[in-house]
Chains A and B, each alone.
Chain A
């Protein structure tokens, strides 16, 4: 009964993957069909030595480093707060996690046009109202603006996971430690944080898988620019293959992206695998 899904996934993995690897060794441009020829490692050499590759690599790492920093610190703080006794906790939790359900193109456009636009955007309006110079977010700090938008989407995810984990924390242990005179800081360091270690790792690894492949947010806000200021690896490969029609170089980039993702995947798989025992 397992075989249909195994076959489907096997096909999904092997067919396109083999094609990507094959194309990566070809000189192949969609604008000149019929001129494909074997070129060895040329595409890899061309892709890696292109200065935009280094930029894209740095941007990819900046985006996922920046977003993970915000979502992890923020997620711990938010989940601790939401775990406190309060009224209407269901409604409040939904307000906090709502951004996670917003499709990437909507959140990117709404932030870019309606909030960060220096003339008519919300922040610009507030600034002019207060007599301040409006800040041109995408002109002055494009990468940070992209990081901000992505963090807004993923902070709810981290919060939700850590909150779920906190709710499974043994309350008696906490109360016992309180009776023994532990203050809230040492309770956080010695009981809550160790309990959260695993969920934090899981949240980080899962986000990493998605954050390495950020695409729509960049496409609708900056198109990777100005210059290559917000081009990540995914976007660079997209430009190479679907805008410049260079199948060979795009495929070489694809293979590199797969290798990078696999390094993260190995750690994630170990974490999840342990849970199967």
Chain B
């Protein structure tokens, strides 16, 4: 390895940090504005920075529109759909990774192809089915839809993780007298858990931010944060401090999860094509 001078490193750091601040500036800016009063928030940037800080916007947003209801809708819908999909996907991915058949590759590719279906192509049938079965504006309905649209990604991600578990280790366990039950419980499960955990995180992120079905299939009761924030596109959105407070609370949990899942994100979103 070539030694890299500290000057060079400092220069790189400075340039990259500038770039990072530039890219995340809108997020930093709404974080600042969410702690300002409505009057200060529409001042020029210098006045904004010098004005006093307050928590008012957060309580106003909750008081006016029952923010917590939409927040809990987001939590229930994203967690519910993720766990439901994992329940279905784990056995499938497991079978395809450890007992591959002749058709396994074709089935995998076909599952992926369902993900390519543009949502708007099936908007009308889903809308009408939901209307007829009383699923419009219900959390159950959204859990079902998000489970289905993210199932292919989940199966693929789990498959690529399970594929990496060495089969030899199973034989070794068997030689040492492990039965099928012990094999699954003590050998496979511990090795599969990291893969399952990253799949879980990525899927929660995707489900939390999904903004086509959540907007089109909800009105007020089951609306998660994506749909709730969309309601700010009316003149209400010109109240900067409130818009900022509502936005920051909506993106904070996912930003934090994002910290932990950068690497897995690439694998999941490229279906294993880039690792």
Give Cα A276 to B2, complex, Å.
37
A155 touching B23 in the complex, CB below 8 Å, given contacts A15-B125, A261-B118, A265-B113: yes
A161 touching B266 in the complex, CB below 8 Å, given contacts A101-B251, A216-B230: yes
CB–CB A109/B243 < 8 A:
yes
Q: Is B250 an interface position by the 8 A CB rule? A: yes
CB–CB A268/B226 < 8 A:
no
Chain B, residues 66-104, CB within 8 Å of chain A (1/0): the string is 000000000000000000000011011011100000000
A-B contact pairs, 22 of them (CB 8 A): A2-B95, A9-B152, A17-B125, A19-B128, A86-B9, A87-B9, A92-B20, A96-B16, A99-B26, A100-B258, A102-B254, A105-B215, A110-B244, A199-B274, A212-B118, A213-B119, A215-B119, A219-B215, A219-B230, A260-B118, A261-B121, A275-B272
Please give, as numbers and ranges, the residues of chain A lying within 8 Å of B271 by CB-CB distance. Answer: 272, 275
Q: Pick the contact of A94 from B9, B96, B209, B259 — CB < 8 Å?
A: B259
A95 touching B21 in the complex, CB below 8 Å, given contacts A81-B16, A114-B244, A161-B266: yes
Chain B, residues 201-238, CB within 8 Å of chain A (1/0): the string is 00001001101100110000000011101101100011
Nearest-CB residue, chain B, relative to A82: B16
Nearest CB in chain A: distance from B155 CB, A: 6
Nearest CB in chain A: distance from B210 CB, A: 8
Please give, as numbers and ranges, the residues of chain B lying within 8 Å of A99 by CB-CB distance. Answer: 23-24, 26-27
Please give, as numbers and ranges, the residues of chain A lying within 8 Å of B19 by CB-CB distance. Answer: 78, 81, 92, 96
Give Cα A159 to B174, complex, Å.
44
Nearest CB in chain B: distance from A140 CB, A: 19
Q: Is B54 an interface position by the 8 A CB rule? A: no
Q: Pick the contact of A213 from B9, B118, B262 — CB < 8 Å?
A: B118
Q: Pick the contact of B116 from A19, A98, A110, A265 — CB < 8 Å?
A: A265
By size class, the interface of chain A is: 35 or more
Q: Is B58 an interface position by the 8 A CB rule? A: no
Q: Which of B20-70 contact A (CB under 8 A)?
A: 20-21, 23-24, 26-27, 29-30, 33, 42-46
CB–CB A5/B266 < 8 A:
no
Q: Which of A210-253 contact B (CB under 8 A)?
A: 212-213, 215-216, 219-221, 233-234, 237-238, 241-242, 247, 250-251, 253
Nearest-CB residue, chain B, relative to A171: B1
CB–CB B29/A114 < 8 A:
yes
Give Cα A112 to B45, complex, Å.
17
Q: Pick the contact of B211 from A1, A87, A98, A104 — CB < 8 Å?
A: A104
CB–CB B120/A237 < 8 A:
yes
Q: Which of A93-152 contact B (CB under 8 A)?
A: 93-107, 109-115, 117, 120, 122, 125-126, 128-129, 152
Q: Is A170 an interface position by the 8 A CB rule? A: no
CB–CB B216/A238 < 8 A:
yes
Q: Is A34 an interface position by the 8 A CB rule? A: no
A101 touching B209 in the complex, CB below 8 Å, given contacts A117-B238, A242-B123, A269-B113: yes
CB–CB B92/A93 < 8 A:
no
Give Cα A129 to B225, complex, Å.
35
CB–CB A114/B33 < 8 A:
yes
A254 touching B233 in the complex, CB below 8 Å, given contacts A2-B92, A110-B243, A164-B266: no
Q: Is B275 an interface position by the 8 A CB rule? A: yes
Give Cα A262 to B35, complex, Å.
46
Residues of B near any A CB (own CB < 8 A): 2, 4, 8-10, 12-13, 15-17, 19-21, 23-24, 26-27, 29-30, 33, 42-46, 88-89, 91-92, 94-96, 105, 107-109, 111-129, 148, 151-152, 155, 205, 208-209, 211-212, 215-216, 225-227, 229-230, 232-233, 237-238, 240, 243-244, 247, 250-251, 254-255, 257-259, 262-263, 265-266, 269-275
Give Cα A157 to B21, complex, Å.
17
Nearest-CB residue, chain A, relative to B237: A113
Q: Identify 5 new A-B residue pairs, CB closer than 8 A, beyond the known A102-B27, A199-B270, A269-B109.
A: A109-B243, A160-B265, A202-B274, A203-B270, A257-B121
Nearest-CB residue, chain B, relative to A200: B274
A242 touching B127 in the complex, CB below 8 Å, given contacts A6-B107, A82-B16, A105-B226: yes
CB–CB B262/A94 < 8 A:
yes
Please give, as numbers and ranges, the residues of chain A lying within 8 Å of B21 by CB-CB distance. Answer: 95
Please give, as numbers and ranges, the residues of chain A lying within 8 Å of B152 by CB-CB distance. Answer: 9
Q: Is A31 an interface position by the 8 A CB rule? A: no
Among B96, B121, B232, B254, the most chain A Cβ lie within 10 Å of the Cβ of: B121
Q: Is A8 an interface position by the 8 A CB rule? A: yes
Among B16, B91, B209, B263, the most chain A Cβ lie within 10 Å of the Cβ of: B16
Please give, as numbers and ranges, the residues of chain B lying within 8 Å of A216 by CB-CB distance. Answer: 211-212, 215, 226, 230
A95 touching B215 in the complex, CB below 8 Å, given contacts A87-B9, A110-B30, A202-B270: no
Nearest CB in chain A: distance from B111 CB, A: 6
CB–CB B232/A109 < 8 A:
yes
Chain A, residues 77-95, CB within 8 Å of chain B (1/0): the string is 0100110111111011111
Nearest-CB residue, chain A, relative to B251: A102
